[in-house]
Amino acid sequence: MAKKKNKNQLLVPVDFTTFSEDALFFASELAEKIEAQLLVLHVIHDPLEAPGFYAQKGKKKKFLRSMEEAAEEMMDTFLNKMRNNYPEEVPIKNAISLLVVGTPATRIVEIAEKKQAKMIIIGSHGRTGLSHLLVGSKAEQVVRLSPVPVTVVKSSKK
């Protein structure tokens, strides 16, 4: 009898920082326990959606394409590093990667819904005070918007 394929997915949004590494490692340990697949997501922030960014008329596609190519290379490097650092972590080894364009918090929630993720696991930069007010917290926005549980992994790294 063939083993039934598990459809459980844990969505792990990453920005390629050590905070994302911590979140992915945490997600891998959880995925192992609940037999879930890891979906590693990076959102390429659309420059037209970001205040202070401008795209030259008619060149947006070319500009976004180069951003996508760079992000794809960064994702490959990030996942290879994680796979090399944690060779025993089968969920990291078998993780699926996905790149999308848009506003990060919104797209993370959209992808979680579309892929029917059981949970979102996101790293936190742990900003407080003025930097938090000026930059905001992607993790906090995701927590507010998400229809599925969100685990925020705080790092002790500075």
The CA-atom distances, in angstroms, between 68 and each of 20, 42, 47 are 19, 10, 12
pTM, to two decimals: 0.81
pLDDT confidence of residue 48: 65
Q: Is residue 23 part of a domain?
A: yes
Q: Per mean pLDDT, which range of 67-81, 94-108, 124-138 is the poorest?
A: 124-138
Q: How many domains does the chain have?
A: 1
pLDDT in tens, 3-21: 444 479 999 999 999 999 9
C-alpha–C-alpha distance, residues 88 and 37, integer Å: 15
What is the domain-level CATH number for residue 139?
A: 3.40.50.620
pLDDT confidence of residue 98: 97
* Residue, of 156 and 25, whose pLDDT is higher: 25
Q: Is residue 122 part of a domain?
A: yes
Question: Do β-strands 150-154 and 9-13 pair in parallel, antiparallel, or remain unpaired?
Answer: unpaired
- Closest by CA to 119, choosing from 16, 46, 34, 5, is 34
C-alpha–C-alpha distance, residues 69 and 72, integer Å: 5
Q: Is residue 2 part of a domain?
A: no
Residues 6+ away with beta carbon under 8 Å from 88: none
The answer to whether the CB of 139 falls within 8 A of the CB of 12 is no
Q: Is residue 1 part of a domain?
A: no
Range of the domain at 74: 9-154
